[in-house]
Amino acid sequence: MIKYVAFLRGINVGGNKKIPMSDLKKTFEALGFENVKTLLNTGNIVFEGSETDAKTLETELKSQFGFEIPVIRRTADEIQKLVDSNPFKQIEVTPDTRLYITFLKDKPESKLKTPYEPPGKNFKILKITNDEVISILTISPAFKTTEAMGFLEKEFGKKITTRNWNTVVKLLNL
């Protein structure tokens, strides 16, 4: 049995694509996964099972809920390595600071050189790997989380999903 973390993109955002986490948990259990746990209402699932293709999860979720639900899957070991690397250790965190990990489904084609800061924005991409984009945002009236997510989607496409660093760390303790 391998422990996995699945990040579902675009559910329960702005009242769209609503899925109760209890229904999601039951669906994963019906697929044969064990020790299924969810975190928050945004599609974070920890589960155990044999190796499975994320595409299979997407097909099953569409069948169950009636709409496309992109899934980005990582092993718990991959998440542990990310957390152990502590990519934000040099960042001074204030109440307005947001630390983000954007999980990529495909190898990025972006040509951005890191660290990268869009001109006039309180947003910085610290690092781009084949699997993640590590970024920070200082919330301001001129540039908020939605604008940062729009920038990431424009640069890396729609096969991404972003989580707050605190959420990523909490997933390891489920």
The model's confidence at residue 13, banded by pLDDT at 50, 70 and 90, is confident
User: How far is residue 153's CA from residue 54's CA, in Å, rounded to a whole number?
Assistant: 20
Nearest to 45 by CA among 85, 18, 15, 76: 76
Query: pLDDT exceeding 90 applies to what percent of the chain?
Result: 76
pLDDT at 53 over 70: no
Q: What pLDDT is stored for residue 54 in this prediction? A: 66
CB 156 within 8 A of CB 103: no
User: How far is residue 7's CA from residue 131's CA, in Å, rounded to a whole number?
Assistant: 13
